[in-house]
Each structure stands twice: as C-alpha cells, then as structure tokens.
C-alpha cells in the first residue's frame, strides 16, 4: 500500500508538471504518513544527504563555469573551435558543437554549456543564413557533452551515491564525450547540406595558432584539474575550488571580469546550486523512504532474475533510463535510480565506472528529449524558436546519441581505457 501510494503520488504530481523537488517531497511525506514515521526524519535525511565532502564540488564547479562564461572565455573557446572546423560545410554548426565540448570541460553542466555557447553562436548563425530551427536544435544537442565530459555534475552525484572514485569517473567520461562530439560533428556535416550557406575560407595555421594562444588559459584549466586530482595534489572538491580561483585569475588577467559581472556570476551560481541541492535533498528523502520499504532490493532481485545476463540487463537499463530522462530531472534520477539499478549491475559483473557513464549518458539524452528536456527550453529562450519546432529538428541528433549510447554500453574500454592507463 505504501509503495503504491509513493509512486502514484509522484507520477500524478509529475503529470501535472509539479516541480520535481516538490513532487518528490510530497510523495515522501505521503509515504511517511502511511508508514507512521515522524516527519522529523525529513530534516534528518536532508542533513544526511548534504553531509558529504565530495558533494561540495558541485556548487564550486557551477561557480567556476559561470565565471568562465562571464569572463569572456566562452568567446575565446568558440574562436579557437572556429579556426579548427569553421571552414567545413556547416562550419558554424560544427563550431557550436566543438565549442560546447570545450566549455563542458570548464562547467560540468549541460544547462550552462547551452546558455554560454548558445548566446555566442546564435547571432553569427542567424547572420550567415542558418535556419533558426536547425540552429536551436544544434545548440541544444551540443550541450549534452556538459553532463559527460569532466567535471560532470552527474558523475559527481553518482560517485557520492555509490562511493565509486570521482577521479576515475572523470577520466571515464573523456572518451565517451569525445565520441559524442565527433559523431555530432559528422551528423552536422551531413545535415548542413540542405542549409544554403556559404562555407568560410580556411584562415590557415596562423589563425589556429593565434586563437589557440587566446584560448590557452581556459583550455589549460581541465588539464590542471585532472592532473591535480590524479597526481594526488588535491581531491575533486578541492579541484573545484581551484577551478574557481583559476577562473577569477584568468578573468582578471583578460580584463573582462568586472565587479558587476562577478556579482552576476555568483548570483547565477547560487541559484543553480540551490536548485540542484533542493532536488538532491528531496531525492535523498525519497531514496531513503523507498529503501526502508525494501523497494530497491526487491526490484534489483527481480531484475537480476529476469534479465538473465549482462547484455539484456544493460539493454533494459538503457530503455528504462531513456524513458526516465524524458520525465525527470537528471540529478534527481541519478540519486533515486542508482540505488535501484546499481546492485543488480554489480551482480552481473558490470564495471561500476562503466555503469556510471552509462547512466550519465542516458540521462543527458533526456535533457534534449521532450517533454521535460531542459536544454530544449534554454535553446528556445536564446533563439526565440518554439520548443515544438526544435523537437522536429533535433531527432537526428537524438538517434545519433542513442547509437553512441549503445557503443558506450557494449564497449567498456571506451570508459575504462584512460582509467587503466593512469592507474
């Protein structure tokens, strides 16, 4: 009875578009009332959820991304990407995709990536005659790498929930992120044949060198972060603080970080962090409630018995999480469903690092999938193209992302190669 009430309440609230944190909270309260558990446990579980040192990395990486965006670094990254791929067919679309991958390595957030790169690329693509619908779809899809390339916030959450090394997860996300970036570049090249726009001329190696020098310090940040973590110099949380300090220094050196822009960066970071933590708190209470009711254990045992083998279990997880990603915030989903899916994955001998990347890729695809795809709404706000029109153009990208997902799922070395190299 309690189990049914919890999930019926949650689904009903989500169907009427209640914010996910509120829906999780109300469903948890309904479950607590039926279980006869004191509501005081809500505050205790919220505190317990937040009482994690690695979790501190999230607000600092969010702040680092905002500072990098405000400090003019997104423009430099886009210019460098333009010197590399801007002369190919569909050049500006390719610049948006490659620039998003560069920026993802600074922010760890899909929303920040779409907002930063979309704001830079929308105007130039419109001036060159790109279809606004195609522009919006490309900008939205390119943001997917923000949840996979380190410092991915989703991988941090997965590491906190499971205890898997966040440093290993960061390394594991690099090659899958590169795969997704390259596959979208090829798709953009293919789709852009119908875009009646002129190709830019190749400016030569000199332009590549010039833009690389201009973007050198932003590009150096992920190298410092990953080498510092794997070199034992600092933890992922300390790395997030280093990223903030680094962004402040570079922004000041470029002369593009005023007190007003810094205030805006901190303000946006506080809002974004508060949203993530609010969702985390509500999801933490919900996850605890379903755990004490033995729901994850029962589901995990059932899945282990019915899936039969690793191949079918991974296929089930992919289908399930793709559906979840369409309807639920990725941060909430990673907290809730990791506890349900992780035990069965371990029983099938799936590498926990690979499983974390699989979950992150699945849920990142959800950010560009209706009806809840947050990247669609951000791209819509930037380009002034309706979400419905963006959805029509984004399906080719979604299909390519699903192919990438299958490659990542059934080719574990894509995730484990760099981890093994640096061990």
| DSSP code, position 55 | G
Burial of 186 (0-12, 13-18, 19+ CB in 10 A): exposed
Measured from the Cβ of residue 376, the count of other Cβ atoms closer than 10 Å reads 27
Pair 398, 303: CB distance under 8 Å: no
With CA atoms as reference, report the closest residue to 138 among 422, 376, 421.
376
Q: What is the pTM of this model?
A: 0.87
For residues 24 and 286, is the Cβ–Cβ distance under 8 A? yes
Cα 228 to chain centroid, rounded: 22
Alpha carbons 128 and 333: distance in angstroms, whole number: 39
Tens of each residue's pLDDT in the chain, 423 residues = 567 778 788 888 877 878 878 888 888 888 888 777 777 777 777 777 777 777 788 888 888 888 887 767 778 888 888 888 877 777 888 888 988 888 888 887 888 888 888 888 888 888 777 888 988 999 999 989 888 998 888 999 999 889 899 989 999 999 999 999 999 999 998 888 776 666 666 677 888 888 888 888 888 888 888 888 888 888 888 888 998 998 888 888 887 778 888 888 899 888 888 888 888 888 888 888 877 777 777 777 777 777 778 888 999 999 989 988 888 888 888 888 888 889 889 988 999 999 999 999 999 998 898 877 888 888 898 888 888 889 888 999 999 999 999 999 999 999 999 999 887
End-to-end CA distance of the chain: 48
């Amino acid at each position: 009875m309690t189990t049914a009430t919890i999930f019926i309440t949650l689904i009903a609230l989500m169907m009427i578009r209640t914010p996910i944190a509120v829906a999780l909270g109300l469903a948890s309260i309904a479950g607590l009332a039926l279980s006869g558990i004191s509501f005081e446990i809500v505050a205790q579980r919220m505190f317990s959820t937040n009482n994690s040192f690695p979790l501190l990395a999230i607000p600092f990486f969010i702040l680092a991304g905002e500072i990098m965006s405000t400090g003019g670094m997104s423009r430099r990254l886009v210019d460098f990407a333009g010197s590399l791929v801007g002369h190919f067919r569909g050049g500006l679309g390719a610049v948006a995709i490659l620039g998003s991958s560069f920026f993802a390595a600074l922010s760890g957030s899909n929303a920040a990536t779409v907002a930063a790169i979309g704001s830079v690329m929308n105007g130039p693509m419109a001036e060159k005659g790109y279809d606004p619908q195609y522009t919006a779809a490309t900008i939205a899809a390119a943001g997917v790498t923000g949840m996979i390339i380190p410092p991915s916030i989703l991988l941090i959450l997965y590491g906190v929930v499971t205890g898997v090394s966040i440093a290993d997860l960061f390394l594991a996300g690099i090659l899958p992120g590169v795969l997704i970036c390259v596959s979208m570049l090829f798709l953009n090249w293919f789709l852009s044949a119908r875009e009646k726009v002129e190709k830019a001329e190749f400016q030569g190696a000199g332009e590549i060198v010039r833009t690389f020098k201009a973007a050198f310090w932003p590009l150096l940040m992920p190298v410092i972060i990953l080498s510092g973590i794997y070199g034992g110099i600092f933890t992922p949380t300390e790395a997030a603080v280093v990223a903030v300090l680094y962004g402040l220094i570079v922004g000041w050196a470029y002369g593009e970080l005023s007190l007003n822009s810094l205030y805006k960066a901190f303000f946006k970071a506080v809002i974004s962090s508060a949203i993530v933590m609010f969702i985390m708190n509500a999801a933490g209470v919900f996850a605890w409630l379903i755990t004490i009711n033995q729901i994850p254990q029962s589901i995990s045992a059932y899945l282990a018995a019915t899936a039969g083998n690793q191949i079918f279990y991974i296929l089930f997880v992919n289908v399930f999480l793709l559906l979840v990603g369409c309807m639920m915030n990725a941060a909430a989903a990673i907290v809730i469903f990791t506890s349900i899916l992780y035990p069965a994955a371990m029983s099938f001998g799936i590498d926990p690092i690979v499983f974390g990347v699989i979950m992150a890729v699945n849920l990142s695809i959800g950010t560009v999938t209706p009806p809840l795809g947050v990247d669609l709404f951000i791209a819509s706000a930037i380009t002034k193209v309706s979400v419905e029109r963006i959805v029509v153009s984004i399906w080719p990208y979604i299909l390519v992302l699903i192919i990438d997902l299958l490659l990542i799922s059934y080719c574990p070395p894509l995730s484990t190669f760099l981890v093994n190299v640096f061990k």
